[in-house]
Chains A and B, each alone.
Chain A
Amino acid sequence: MKLFNVKNLIRLLVLMVVYGIIQYLFINKAINPFYMMTLVLVCIYIILAVSQNIITGFTGQLALGHAGFMAIGAYMSALVVVRMQGSLVAGIIFGALMAAAAGMLIGLPTLRLRGDYLAIATLGLGEIVRIFFLNMDYLGGATGFSVPKTIDWTWAFWLMALSVFLMSSFINSSHGRACISVRENEIAAEAMGINTTKYKVMAFTMGAFFAGLAGAIYANYMYLIHPGTFSFLKSFEILAMVVLGGLGSITGSVVGAGVLTIISAGLADYPEFRMVIIALVMIILMVYRPNGLLGNKELKLDFLRIKKKG
Chain B
Amino acid sequence: MFKHGLILCLFCLGFGLLLAVTDEITVDNIAARAIEDKQNSLSQVLPDELHDNNPVTDTLTLANAEGRELTVYRARKNGLVTGVAYEIFGTGYAGEIKLMMGIAADGKLLGVRVLAHKETPGLGDKIEAKKGPWIERFTGLSLGNPPLERWKVKKDGGDFDQFAGATITPRGVMAAIRGGLEFFAENKSTLTKGD
Q: A and B, one complex?
A: no
Hey, which bits of chain A sit against chain B, CB under 8 A? Answer: none
